Each structure stands twice: as structure tokens, then as C-alpha cells.
Structure 1
């Protein structure tokens, strides 16, 4: 089968680019002829305030990539669609509603000559604007089928458009690295330091974690990742809570090569999300030997066995989170949970995912 994936790949960074790249490799390994139609300029900078690209690849780059798409060039969108008429399947990777206008241009160039799947990382954003739902509805009404990463996201898609929707859990696409030897063996010792990792956005609940941390004496926190809206509000909250000596801020994108050392310096990864769809971060923590403390939202709870390789807590509650952090640091508990951590096996997840993606519309109706 000839498959064209429209989405970000290296030099773009982050989970979306890693997923697109790994998906292309996996489909190629199954014997399909795959090309990635990627971006020369994906978003205007005012819509994505962080750094969009990286200088070194995270994993093996995919060899068959065309980087012609540009958010400023609608003529290029239509040309891309014309090129895709030769494919058996076109996959439109939806990470943000701002991608919809280019995708509509691609569909105009296709003229329904190729089966089209909308692969939705998020059907709608966590923090929504008035134009998000109309844009996504316009896209989903024009594709042949939809692939969503959870039943909750599938329900959102079905509420927007009549296209058949299939569900497949987001499979692991973790950067190379792995757990340090002492983490794997459970001999790293208790550091009384926690880790918050990844893009900092309001729905991820860093403010809740800081307020909970203020109630748990003697425990420190490292916050590593890009801050979507700037640092001022977070710094002000840290000062207000008297946490200046206990919170280390490491703003900016964390290269894959720095991730193992960062995780080795913590006792647990904390994911205090207010909401979530699918996330790699719980698996990332386990891959590096860390138990994970997370809220029961989205697919996070599916990746953690409460009391075995991490702890689960109800979302949105500072009291509940502070109580869980205190429980985590009971005598012997960090070591016991660390011993329960096992690295994820990606193979069954990817087998199910590629099967769902390649299945025809009737299978997902």
C-alpha cells in the first residue's frame, strides 16, 4: 500500500513529530511504501511561542520526507493534495485546529481520489477557542474516517461529524535513552526530589503541584520544559509559597540526550494534570525507572498500576495531591514503588495501532 502521512517530523520537535516519524518507520517495516509530507513552516510564531525545531534528531530520521508545506502558502497546500492522488491512503495528523485550513487545501487538491484518515492526537484542544470546534468539524466532515486515541476523544469526534471513528491507544514513541543502571536495580537512594517534565501549560496543573508541595516539607521539585505562557506567573507563585529554595526551574526544551540524567535525579515523575487525552509521559517515567504520581484523567491512569509502579490521585485537588505526596515519602515507599516499575514493551501497542489505522471504514463504523 502507498501511504502518505501529512505531519511534522525532524527537524520539528516534540511528541507529534516523534509519533509521525515512528509511525512511518513502523508502516515501512510492514512492507508499505511510505512518504511523509512535512512542513517548511508549520505555525506562525504568535500561535506557538516556543521553539519549534531542533538541531539534532531524536531517534532515526525517516528517509522519505518532502518538506514543502507552509502555513503562508495556500497554493502549496493544493499542490500537496494533487501529489497525494497517487497514494492509497493519506493520513492527516491533527495536532491543532490551526492545521485545518492547510488540510482543507490538501483535500481540495485530492478531490477525493484517495482514502483519507484524520489521525487526531487531540480532537479539540485542552484550552479551547471559539473557532476550534467549527474548524475541526469542517475537517472531519470531509475525511473518510477518523482515528482517535481514546473513547472520550472518539465521542468528541462523533459529535462533530458523521465519519466512522476508530479508537487505538497512542503507542509508545519514546526517545532513546533508557533508565540508568541504579534506577533499574532500585539502588539509587531516596533524593527527596520530584520531577515535573514537559511543556508547561495551565491544564497540566503545575500550580496545583506547587501548592501541594508547600504542604510537604523537605521535598524539592525540578520543573523542566518549555513554558507556554512565560515564567512570570510561576515565579510569582513560587515566591508566594516560600518555595524559592525548593523548586528548580529549567525552562526550555530538554534535548533527548539530557533526559536520562534529569530523570536519574528524581524519586518520581509527577503528572498533576487537570485534563488529558493521551500522554507519553507516564511511559517515559517508567522507561527511566521512575514511579509516576498522576491524576486520574484521560489515559494516564491506564499506564499506571496504583500502588505498584506509582500512585493515582483525583484531579484538581491540592489537598488530595499533598496527601499523596506525603504518602509517597513514607518510609520505604519510594524504594518499593521503584522496584515495581517495568519498561514498556511497545510492540503490541504498535501492532494494534497500525492495524486500526489501515483498516477500512466499515471496520470502524
Structure 2
């Protein structure tokens, strides 16, 4: 896809839309090409009000690949890309700040807090790391070159310059970045020996939130090391109406053993570490999806997931020198709800 001719607006990148037809292979190249831009937008957004479609050209500043403004009666370029700013409503602020770990002319490494998305995603477009920092730092070219789950905290690497972005992105695509996570979970049973590796096939069903371990060739590998075991601190009483109804789903009671683990993902599947820990009978504390999907309110900040992207290491593709970054954040066993003993 060509680079957008429109700069971000309020930190939000322009939307790209590809027209039907054309000679290149894409999802809509077999469809008939409408005569005009207006007819095309009517087929793309049939439920939108006519005035809303027209505002994509005016308020949205719709442009073609060459950066030229687009008119309602202009012919459609078969298979061409068009760019526009879509309306984005205000969002309630996620009340946590992003911390800076490292910065040079190419990279910005930050500590992403729990509950703040890495990139625009679903209902969170303004309230994510990328949009916030583009605005706060006046750096419209910032792009996250990997992702963390919204409820996972820790190190996130952003690229500042398009000229060098691809070489850093390639590190993550080729899985040459060594990642280390830390997590708090129930203490393990005596029969589990550490360090151990969990290798399995992970599949995310369409429409589901939980990723499942299934039969078949393994596509996910994690190494898990036990760091230390301690007693659960004196935590606030658990809400008796909580949906955590089974023994495997509840967090530890006061005085029960919890443990800190070091986790290394050798593959990058969605929810991989959370699924593998849960499969071992060690669900990460504060996890709202495993083993029981609680369908949490995204603005409920009472039980942060005790999973932290703690370290990143790689050979810099520009200089060949080793790079190592460590989070300034800490796990907090007192930050999740528990049952009284």
C-alpha cells in the first residue's frame, strides 16, 4: 500500500480504502468499478446517511494516491487507493501515563501501562500509546513496531523515522528480538519441574475472545522459569458477586502461595503466554479471559493483569551493536482482587 498523502490528524492516521477493479490481485479486484466516487462510496457505506458520505470528501479531505483532492463526480481509479480522515468521537481517558525508557533519533522505547492499547484498536483510537504520543510529543511519524495486549504492561518499541522503520520492523518479523516477560500466578504443584517448555497448537475461533489449545502440529512455544514463591499478601476482600466461580478461576486466598515466573515466548501467537500458563493450571493473576472469560468492562481498572514485558534485546540493524532495554515497572500482587481467607 502506498504511503498516505495525508498526515495524521489529532495523532490519528488517515484511513485507506481501495477501489474495486484494477490489474493487481486484491480482495475487490473482481468487482465492477462504479462510474463515480459518489457511487462507489454508496456501495462501500450503504447504511451511512448521504451527507455523512459526502463529508468524507470535505471534512475528511479525501485524496487519491497522488495526493490530489477527490470530487463526488470524479471517475474511480480501478484498484486505486484513496485516503481520508474518518470522524473519531471523543474517548474517556485511560488514567495511566506512558513512561519513557529510551530515545534516540530512530527509536522511542516506552513503558506501556496496563489498560492502554498499543495502537488504535476497536473502541480505543485516541486512547492508545501511538495516538497519545504523536500528539503529546508532536511526532506524527511515530509507529509501534510490535504490539502488547491492552491489559499487558511493559516495554513497547516505537519507530520515529520512516527511513529506518523497515529494518527495525524486520527484527520483530524475523523473531530475532529476545523478549522476557515476568508474571505472577499461583504457586506450582510439586510435580512441575522448572524450567519447562510448553509447546502446543493455538487457534483463535472466529468471534471468540479465548485462544484455544487444539490437536495438531505445534505453532507456539514458550519457556517458563520459576523465579520465586511467596505467600499471597493481605489483599482486599473479593467481590462475592464475581463471576469467578470455580476453584481454577479464582485468585489465591490470603496466605496461599503465589509465585513469580519468567516467561520467554519463542513464537508470537495471540495470548500465547496467558494460554500456556493457564494450560499448566497457573492462570496469570488478574487475567479477565483465562480460564474464565469475564467479559470485563474496559474501564474497570481494579484488577490489572500481572504480566509484564520486562526486557527486550536485539542486535541493532543499523550499527550491529547489542541493544538491551529493561522496564521500570514492577509486578504488584496487591493490585488484584482476592477472596478473604
Normalised-by-shorter TM-score class: under 0.3
More strand by share: 2
More helix by share: 1
Q: TM-score, normalised by structure 2?
A: 0.24
